[in-house]
Amino acid sequence: MDSFQKTFEELALRADIQINGKRPWDIQVHHPDLYRRLLLEGSLGLGESYMNGWWDSEQLDELICRILKLDLYTKIKPQWIDLLNLSLAKIFNRQSFRKASDVIENHYNLGNNLYQKMLDERMLYTCAYWEGAQTLEEAQERKLELVCKKIGLERGMTVLDLGCGWGGFAQYAAEKYGAQVVAVNKSSEQLELARERSRGLPVEFRQQDYREAQGLYDRVVSIGIMEHVGPKNYRTYMEVAHRCLKPEGLAFIHTIGSNRSYIYGDYWLDRYIFPNGVTPSVSQLAEAMEGIFIIEDIQNIGPHYDPTLLEWNRRFQQAWLELKQTYPERFKRMWEYYLLSCAGIFRARVLQLWQIVMNRPGRPQPRCRFS
């Protein structure tokens, strides 16, 4: 046994993980160089080696959860990766107007068929709300209703939806509440399908960056865009929302959030899933809204992301026989690692999901239902 294997086994035992053990969360090692790679490359090595078939785990999500709960990740994360990411993030705006297209081309334009097979009928690619729900469709409808209640949406109101995805919220707000919605998104593939699915509704889709949004609205909403805004642009986002909001209006953010403040994201997720993505902390968002907005309500529904991700993975696996005609086997391992490792991250409470209702300073507290 070499020193890399011995070190990894000692760390794994702290999390009650056995090498080639019989329990579902144990790691099954298929390549002798795995230990060296994990200790030298951290999360990048863990993800890439899984993609290459160097290891497996029957319950990958629980394996990741156990690693993170004991903070073992920090003990195998190479310092040079942190130093490199920190330097790049300080020098460059990795979420600039030009760079914002990276995640569109590498993730959101992967093909609508993939997402149609994986997501619910409304194609909502954000955390569902499982309180009282049995199916993904019910849980996503409950999430949309929760958002509408929190912002006090009423018939005839105008809404700006920043980063609208396939238009699920815009459709719901128009159908159920009679709202008039302008929805902006940079993804051509998402917008093409969103327009098709929203025919006959008072919804206008614009292919724009959130920074280009114009007009005045009763409500400004974003569900799942803040993770792509970036620390250098949080203040810009708040200024855009403020600029587009009527004096008596409310703004709303639904975002994954970090327990600590970072200016760069996970190395593997950055390379393979969400280029330039960074999850904000509460303190970063609060600083960005100083003098512009006050927080009327903040709720953490992070535990609901674990079952959401597991259901997305179940549907993805179920559809693989069809999807494999378009995507290679390595993509399958990449995608399941993404979904299941993220489920483990939320189960370990390393990431949260915040819903934040914001008001202008000096305005009366709105009569909204915040839970």
Q: Catalytic residues, which ones?
A: 342
Nearest-angstrom CA–CA distance, 80 and 42 = 10
| Token reading at 160 | 């700006």
Which residues are 29's β-sheet partners? Answer: 55
Nearest-5° Cα angle at 348, 275 to 76: 65
Select from 232, 239, 302 the least CA-distant residue to 264: 232
Nearest-angstrom CA–CA distance, 141 and 149 = 12
- Alpha carbon dihedral 288, 303, 350, 269, in 10-degree steps, equals -80
Contact 153, 177 (CB under 8 A): yes
Which residues are 19's β-sheet partners? Answer: 27
- Alpha carbon dihedral 5, 7, 9, 11, in 10-degree steps, equals -150
Residue with the two structure tokens 């073992």: 72
Nearest-angstrom CA–CA distance, 62 and 243 = 44
The amino acid occupying position 194 is: A
The amino acid occupying position 199 is: R
Looking only at Cα atoms, what is the longest distance across the chain? 69
Select from 66, 9, 73 the least CA-distant residue to 45: 73
